[in-house]
Structure 1
Amino acid sequence: MWTHRRSGQTNQRGNQDHRDPYERDRTRVIHCPAFRRLQRKTQILGTDEGDFHRTRLTHSLEVDSIGRSIVHNLLMSQEKYIGLAGLLPNDDLISVICLLHDIGHPPFGHGGEVALNYMMRNYGGFEANGQTLRLLTKVESSYGTYGLDLTRRALLGILKYPVKRSTVAAPKQPPVHESIHKTIKINDWLPPKAYFDCEQPEIDWLLSPFSDSDKELFQSLSQMPHNTKSGKSAYHSFDCSIMDIADDIAYGVHDLEDAIHLRLINPSHLDTSELRQLLNNTLLTDRQNQIIDSLFSSDLYSRKQTIGEMVNYFITSTQIIITNEKFENKLLKYNLALSPEANALLNYLKQCIFNNVIDSQEARTFEYGGQTVVLRLFDAISSNPASLLDNKNRVLFNQAEDETSAYRIVCDYLANMTDEYAYRMHERLFGFNTRTIFERL
């Protein structure tokens, strides 16, 4: 049942096709246009800032590498998890999940995400992980009506937030600006982490192998929505938890490497008494001076060796835990987790990146610029769909059953854009250029 596809097809290429279902999934991902577009989508810095730093594509490749290494590490420790035979995903399955984890992200990172959520506020909203599910099951039409038509277990691993938007959305909306020429406040329009309500048929199929009690518990909340605050989902599936930790490691270590290389983080930002205390609690304690020195060394080989050492430390600090004894199915009952010491260190690294890169004036001005591009493009395209949509989406827009469905088509079109494509269209329509954060104001 976990290798089933919603179409019911096996899609084998004749009797000589030796590939298992997850290998076929991975092949579909590699050849998917939406996957290729990740090479021109922002990770933590704009794609025009140089060739060294990560894009969404190279980040996804690193998450894939880390995810597979985590599984290999767990396989070496199977004697600790005797009762979990068959639970671990194979290489192709975890690769698919990791490669696709960011595929629903729009141009300009969170600036684009917030802009789309604002423009879709009355039409079901927007959230990048929710868009990932929609893209894979509908929008990416390489394999017909069912999107990429991936296996059930692959889609389950990609489903990061198994609750629908209407369940977790804040009861009260922030103030609405009638003019899109006013920049919206990012923190006012952060989207709730959920799948879109219009994807419920896909979710029903996806979760159908689970018992009713497992489905109810899996879709429960750890935090209820209140006033202007959204609720939060409580659980991930096992495969998703592996991907989530691999993503955090890639962000906390590899994106740190980018920030150091671009001199956005210097020793005074990172080397604090808090970091030293955290390192003292880990297996890295005896090498903390060498680690700090190597990270900021001009010797790129030394720096890369240290980056690899840190990644390996986090990979080997993972363990399988029970999420809730009430779950019947092992894919829901168990999750991957970092040891408390490793988790505390990784959270420190992530916070350092946030404080000195993501929340910097340079990055925020880029984010706001991208937000404005998306706001204006959405307004222009939704007002003139017959003129400004491409042929494929123009047909879908005309076939839409209602206004909500029509706006969702516009949203899909914009979410699929790369940073470069969105810039070019904006320049063509409005004549503005806001490409780089390093052009001095």
Structure 2
Amino acid sequence: MKTLAAYACDPLQSRGRRFEEPVAPTRSDFQRDRDRIVHSSAFRRLVYKTQVFVNHEGDLFRTRLTHSLEVAQLGRSIARSLGLEEDLVEAICLAHDLGHTPFGHAGQDALNECMRLHGGFEHNLQSLRVVDRLEERYPAFDGLNLTFETREGILKHCSRSNAQLINEREPAGVAQRFLDGTQPSLEAQLCNLADAIAYNAHDVDDGVRSGLITMIQLRDAVPLFAHYYEATLRDWPALAVPEAQRKLLYESIRRMLSDQVYDVIGHSRLQIESCGVKSVQEVRHCGRLLMGFSEEMKIRSQALKQFLLRQLYRHPQVMQTMESAQQVVHDLFAAYMVEPERMKPRFVQRAQAADTLGERARVVADFVAGMTDRYAAREHERITGLQLLGAG
């Protein structure tokens, strides 16, 4: 029997679902949310969506699915130490990337360009759209009908203009905090941190595995990594030989990951105590985020993030692939706008029922965003006759 802290979200005190449902006899509302997410089509598609490397580039690189599982594992570990609601944290972590396009951020940027005259595209908003509308599993409603608390955590970022639009449909709902300056639950705050910790660590692993960056580069340019790399060699000097480089990398990353987790736990506990919050409502109105890194760890983690941006995400080989990926998204969007009947039947029906060009564009964006890397590549080749990416 787990004991929740006073400032944790209690499933018995949830703000509920948009459509009322009977209480499950054996599961809490947050457990039920997690299960609905895991069984969703959007969750399964994450296995073939890019994290950094496109699906055809290798079998062992992270995908959006494995990334989401790693985020959930980190989130639960931290939540347990702070007395937060683990099932809620897991649900948010597993759902946070459901709206991501194929081809990672390159795909999102391309789709945003395609939608620039029709409200733009942002994957956090799309993740909420997936769980609120696009999943089709239940006869009584569209979407997964998740609790307010899970939906709040999924909507990590939101512009004021988009928040106003959401608030018109759902007054005082999940977008209200972006208008009145209140904070999300600690569970939602935690998921943002678990996301950052996970992708910094596993992108180091995938980057070195790919050969695009090296441990020597990391040691020389990233103090955070250098500290754990050197400590590992002091403790395990035998790992200096070429045959042991994988173990050296894994142990360095493991130590870096662990210390970031412990830093978040220690710093966040101090922040919670200093603010004196005793309830979720007090968390929302305390005036600042309470979950976070210490100042020193924040600076060192940011340096790692900047290194990955320069040396991995903007590496010429990655950029070349991403340029091709963006062309795929642009071409698919243009083709479906002209011939919406090329889409799956349920999207064809929605496009035909659209009253405006903007509504049709949103249907097309929903369809393209839901594609996996390989499905998008195959569809692009089928429509254009060009093979810009390995279609598998």
Residue 364 (structure 1) aligned with residue 364 (structure 2): no
Residue 125 (structure 1) aligned with residue 127 (structure 2): no
Whole-angstrom distance in 1 between the partners of 2:296 and 2:339:
54
Preserved contact between residue 3 and residue 22 of structure 1 (Cα < 8 Å): no
SS where residue 291 of structure 2 aligns? Answer: strand
CA distance 1:266–1:285, shift in 2 (3 Å): closer
Task: Please state how far the C-alpha of 1:267 moved relative to its aligned partner.
Answer: 3.2
Which of 278, 283, 290 aligns to 1:330? It is 283
CA distance 1:311–1:279, shift in 2 (3 Å): closer
Moved over 6 A (4+): 322-327
Which of 155, 170, 184 aligns to 1:159? It is 155
Whole-angstrom distance in 2 between the partners of 1:296 and 1:431:
48
Residue-by-residue CA offset, 1:156-200 (whole Å, 9 max, x unaligned) = 111111444x3xxxxxxxxxxxxxxxxxxxxxxxxxxx6693674
CA distance 1:332–1:285, shift in 2 (3 Å): farther
1:303 alignment counterpart: 249
Which of 201, 210, 232 aligns to 1:253? It is 201
Using structure 2 for the length normalisation, give the TM-score. 0.84
Structure 1 gap segments, 5+ residues each:
76-87, 167-193, 219-234
Which of 101, 118, 122 aligns to 1:106? It is 101
Structure 2 gap segments, 5+ residues each:
1-12
Whole-angstrom distance in 1 between the partners of 2:230 and 2:372:
44
Preserved contact between residue 112 and residue 370 of structure 1 (Cα < 8 Å): yes
CA distance 1:422–1:199, shift in 2 (3 Å): farther
Aligned length: 367
1:74 alignment counterpart: 82
Which of 431, 434, 439 aligns to 2:385? It is 431
Q: Residues 126-141 of structure 1 correspond to what in structure 2 (within 5 A)?
A: 126-141=121-136
Q: Residues 242-321 of structure 1 correspond to what in structure 2 (within 5 A)?
A: 242-272=190-220, 275-276=222-223, 287=231, 289-290=233-234, 298-299=243-244, 300-318=246-264, 319-320=267-268, 321=271
- Mean Cα deviation higher: 35-44 or 307-316: 307-316
**CA RMSD after TM alignment:** 3.0
Preserved contact between residue 118 and residue 125 of structure 1 (Cα < 8 Å): yes
Residue type of the alignment partner of 2:258: N
Task: Please state how far the C-alpha of 1:114 moved relative to its aligned partner.
Answer: 1.4
Using structure 1 for the length normalisation, give the TM-score. 0.75
Residue-by-residue CA offset, 1:258-280 (whole Å, 9 max, x unaligned) = 111222111342112x634x579
Task: Please state how far the C-alpha of 1:348 moved relative to its aligned partner.
Answer: 2.0
1:206 alignment counterpart: 174
1:184 alignment counterpart: none
Whole-angstrom distance in 2 between the partners of 1:92 and 1:102:
17
Which of 402, 406, 409 aligns to 2:360? It is 406
The percentage of aligned residue pairs carrying the same residue is 32
More helix by share: 2
CA distance 1:27–1:367, shift in 2 (3 Å): same
